[in-house]
Amino acid sequence: MAEKLLEVNNLKKYFPVKAGIFKKTVAYVKAVDDVSFFVNKGETLGLVGESGCGKSTTGRTILRLLEATAGEVIFEGKDVLSLNKEDLRNIRRDMQIIFQDPYASLNPRMTVADIVGEPIDIHNLAKNKKERNEKVKDILERVGLGSEYMRRYPHEFSGGQRQRIGVARALAVDPKLIIADEPVSALDVSIQAQVINLLQDLQKDFGLTYLFIAHDLSVVKHISDRIAVMYLGKIVEMADKTELFDDPMHPYTQSLLSAIPEADPTKKKERIILEGDVPSPVDPPSGCRFHPRCPKAFDKCSVEEPVFKDYGDNHFAACHLLEE
Ligand code: SF4
């Protein structure tokens, strides 16, 4: 049986909305609202949803770059959310992040050697500078950048190369889990596949586990073992990749899949166009949050919230239609 590396239980992250001269809290943005999922050792879970659905906030809250409002994040048996500063620093070595924007996430005044070497210094993983630079050189080569780049600065690189530097920095401390937060969204389509292939090779070589966040199902399809679909702060469906693509249960997943162009022109599929925009997470719709846009909504949907449950073989979904 697969071993869980990460387990997220009932995670919530609410941001206060302040107003007036006394900056009183008048409401909350419920960015992540009762989210539960797990990631098995060595696998990739794709976390997908439209922008603003809470997927990046979920990733950052797991790593405590943002403090959670409620819930549990269990990593190798320890609750990350209740660790003290020292234990958190130690566990961060095992849990790294790759950011979306390689332009913004690298310090422009640091050389590549220092960017990649910094986490090695923070965690005291090298005896001296020579050993540290040897490690940096090895990692850079592993991500497809030669040691001749070590003394250069981020502005001297292309977008794809900068993301390779971001990957090298994450790898430098030999982590177990990498949260890849839209790692290819800012890159040209031609470069996206190269970075995804690199991440897959590294996963095999280093036994890595990925939480791969993206807004596009077609991006996560290639790399994921399982996929979780998020809508307005909640996971609405989670299943094995093939199962999710072949037999999507939730109307929101069905609409996302209908938007992916069919490679085989003889196979026609009907595009499901959703009405309206994603509602505000400050005041989400009652009942099922998807009901104002759902083409299959019925009376119960606006009143009662559907339960997220397993419909067999770890295929989870939250929709009243499935309960009928
Ligand atoms: Fe649509 Fe109702 Fe299912 Fe929500 S519960 S996805 S509104 S059918």
Cα(226) to ligand 1 centroid in Å equals: 22
Q: Which amino acid is at 125?
A: L
Helices (H), the chain: 55-62, 85-92, 102-105, 112-122, 129-142, 159-171, 189-206, 217-223, 241-246, 251-258, 320-323
With a 6 Å cutoff on the Cβ, whether 251 touches ligand 1 is: yes
Give the pLDDT of the chain (324 residues) as one tens digit per residue: 789 999 999 999 999 999 988 889 999 999 999 999 999 999 999 999 988 899 999 999 999 999 999 999 999 999 999 999 999 999 999 999 999 877 788 899 999 999 999 999 999 999 999 999 999 999 999 999 988 899 999 999 999 999 999 999 999 999 999 999 999 988 888 899 999 999 999 999 999 999 999 998 988 988 999 999 999 999 999 999 999 999 999 999 999 999 887 777 777 778 888 888 888 889 999 999 999 999 999 999 999 999 999 999 999 999 999 987
Q: What is the pLDDT of residue 189?
A: 87
Cα–Cα nearest to 317, from 227, 242, 232, 213: 227
In a domain, 236, yes or no: yes
Ligand 1 atom closest to Cα of 302?
Answer: 7
In a domain, 37, yes or no: yes
In a domain, 240, yes or no: yes
Q: What is the pLDDT of residue 138?
A: 95
Using most ligand atoms within 8 A of CB, pick from 230, 237, 294 the residue to mutate for ligand 1: 294
CATH code: domain of residue 70: 3.40.50.300
Ligand 1 atom closest to Cα of 236?
Answer: 6
Q: Whose CA is nearest to atom 3 of ligand 1?
A: 319
Q: What is the pLDDT of residue 85?
A: 93
- End-to-end, the C-alpha distance of the chain in Å comes to 32
Provide the 10 A C-beta neighbour count for residue 188: 11
Q: Whose CA is nearest to atom 6 of ligand 1?
A: 319
With a 6 Å cutoff on the Cβ, whether 293 touches ligand 1 is: no
In a domain, 30, yes or no: yes
Return d(Cα 234, Cα 237) in angstroms, integer: 9
287 and 279 Cβ atoms separated by less than 8 Å: no
In a domain, 243, yes or no: yes
With a 6 Å cutoff on the Cβ, whether 186 touches ligand 1 is: no
In a domain, 181, yes or no: yes
Provide the 10 A C-beta neighbour count for residue 82: 10
The domain in which residue 206 lies consists of 4-94+175-323
Domain total of the chain: 1
In a domain, 35, yes or no: yes
Cα(236) to ligand 1 centroid in Å equals: 10
In a domain, 259, yes or no: yes
Which 3-state string (H, E, C) describes 180-214?
A: EECCCCCCCHHHHHHHHHHHHHHHHHHCCEEEEEE
Regarding pTM above 0.75, the answer is: yes
